[in-house]
Chain A
Amino acid sequence: MTITSTPFFQLDYGGKIEREIAHLIALFEESNFNTGPYSRRWLAIKLLEKDADILERVKGIEGGEKIIEIAHERAGHVESMLGEDFDLLTADRRYGYINGVVRQSLNRPLVDRVTLTDRIDNIVTHKWLGLPLFFAVMYIVFRLVIDVSAPFLDWIDAVIHGPISSWLSSILSFLSAPAWLSSLIVNGIIAGVGGVLVFVPGLLILYFFLALLEDSGYMSRAAFVMDCFMRIIGLHGKSFIPMILGFGCAVPAVYATRTIASRRDRILTALLVPLMSCSARLPVYVVFGLAFFGSRAGTVIWIMYALGIAVAMLAGMVFTRTLLKPDVSSAFVLELPPYRQPALKSVLIHMWENTSGFVRKAGTTILMVSIVMWFLLNIPWGVTNKQDSLFGRFSTAIAPVFAPLGFGNWETGGALVSGFMAKEIVVSSMSQIYLGNGDSQTAEPTTLAEDAVFITKGFVDATVSSAKILVSIIPGVDLVGDQAQTENTGLSSALQQRFTTLSAVSLLVFVLLYVPCVATLGAIKHEFGTSWAVTSAIYQTVVAWIIAFMVYQGGLLLGFG
């Protein structure tokens, strides 16, 4: 921990509490609530703490009752997750901070009392061991996410493209639905939304482990360990906390920069946050990883995450020397809470909240884009070759831009453009383009009982396979042998025909780095203005193109093509 002078201090109350504070502040702004002489942040904290005096005063302000009701609801939500009263949680943070300051400011006689937390910290925050350990932890997490979720991914894929497609086709033919409507539902919606929903098990596992790391107290250590690296790019460890949030979703991560005192640091952090690989990119990695790297997909995905961090550092160094020169040295006092056993309820709530957000997005944004995509792929009406459709023509026109990167086909160009709405749409678009013309009605008809047996048996098999894979993580135990290889899904097979391993890697790099999704750009615009949102979009796309170009052309020169 280091302390330096700072012109403006704002205590960081930690992810969950900060999210609620930001939510209330946003509510004040949206409802034009007059906070009077109080700062918005201070008032939000006091309302969440249910400060009796403040509640009485706010009741007297127009719209105050509604604000209080929402504040109580949000505080109750945090209390149910963390199992403590809100005011106790904030007081805990304050005392933790004070304790951190006192420990750094006072020299006391050395007391021979080393706690278990101290012993663990001696290793995980070690000058040389800390960083490799952090990357090792993240590597294990991503291996677990990919390996353990792979059998479930196959199962959901089989269920969606088997019984569910078959049921819908039967219902539509029973209702004598027109052919175009059947095609829209089966080839548009099922292929698009279903192509994304298959990744729900992977996300559940990812969020489970991220919640586990956060609640155990390790994530604070990760921020501490990254401090030295962050200083190289003119930031400090505090900026790494929004970046860690960025592994989940860049939108809350951009808002989480509000805890950073300096505006310059906030802008720089927000520009780097989208380079952290968010969970929306995971479906793209998993599809390409399993198609081209099989059992080594976990390693490839880990490399993508590490590459995101590395590029963020390089970009930070460039920004620090050009647009965003350091102003004043900022403080970084981070309380390292004692390690504790994560509360299962809190972990499960965290896991469900994030995954349900993904599912909601599948039911709204991705559904909408899938429908629009289907129409664009079928206009002019009756077009048989998709390349002649409106979408195909537009994609063909922009495809040459991607040709030097190894994926100059119109399908990929179009999918990347649609991914601007949300990154997982890249997968749903590819599913629609490559699989959308499949005729589900040609499959042999099955009874409802047969489908039920198929679904149940598939689930049991997936559970057993995942359990075996999980146990096989223990060194010396191998219950899976060569069976760990996942089956090729329809999309994987289609991709293998159109990409080489090198062009697949190049595409993964491009997807990792190119323009943030529209929601992230909206958050950056809201926080810092249009010019920074435009800067973010342009610089990321240019960087993505250059690095993907280097990967592909460099690979060709080295004979990997």
Chain B
Amino acid sequence: MFVQLIHLLESKENGLSLAEISRAMDAQPSAVMSMIYLLVQKGKLIEIGPDGKYCSTCGYESQCNVLATRGKRYMVAPIS
């Protein structure tokens, strides 16, 4: 499942939203979310905003209306 998820996101330059991932994987969003959390914690995935910017580096993450409306997107963490 994780390999499938990472492969899916590897092919998406701008990442995918939770809904898009759950549709692509044919799984419930709640199930996919816990997998995404784990991968984010492990540093395999990063969260980005709808505009493609890293949310975690933005001081206004908690107040961002765009983020609240359109949700986070996820992409594979770039290899440093």
Contacts and interface: CB of A to CB of B under 8 A. Distances in A.
Interface string B1-25: 1111001000000000000000000
A340 B42 contact: no
Interface residues on B, range: 10 to 19
A111 B2 CA distance: 22
Nearest to A103: B26
B11 to A, nearest CB: 13
Interface stretch (B27-35, B57-65, B68-76): B27-35
Contact of B42 (A88, A98, A337): A88
Interface in A102-116: 102, 108, 111, 113
| Interface-central residue, A98, A99, A108, A340, by most chain B CB under 10 Å | A99
Given A111-B26, A113-B26, A99 B1 contact: yes
A135 interface: no
A92 interface: yes
B66 interface: no
Interface in A62-104: 84-85, 87-88, 91-92, 95-96, 98-99, 102
A92 B3 contact: yes
* Residue from A95, A96, A340 having most chain B Cβ neighbours under 10 A: A95
Given A85-B42, A91-B38, A95-B35, A102 B28 contact: yes
Given A111-B26, A113-B26, A88 B31 contact: no
A92 B26 contact: no
Nearest to B39: A88
Contacts, number: 34
Contacts of B35: 91, 95
A363 interface: no
Interface-central residue, A88, A96, A98, A340, by most chain B CB under 10 Å? A88
Interface residues of A, number: 17
A95 B31 contact: yes
A84 B35 CA distance: 15
A338 interface: yes
A84 B1 CA distance: 13
Nearest to B32: A95
A340 B31 contact: no
B76 to A, nearest CB: 14
A337 B4 CA distance: 9
B42 A96 contact: no
B10 to A, nearest CB: 13
Contacts of B28: 102
B79 to A, nearest CB: 13
A340 B3 contact: yes
Contact of B3 (A102, A108, A337): A337
B2 A102 contact: no
A338 B31 contact: no
Given A88-B38, A88-B42, A102-B31, A95 B3 contact: no
Interface of B: 1-4, 7, 26-28, 31, 35, 38-39, 42, 44
17 contacts: A84-B2, A87-B42, A88-B2, A88-B38, A88-B42, A91-B35, A92-B3, A95-B2, A95-B31, A98-B31, A99-B1, A99-B27, A99-B31, A102-B27, A102-B28, A102-B31, A338-B7
Given A108-B26, A338-B4, A340-B3, 4 more contacts: A88-B44, A91-B38, A102-B31, A113-B26
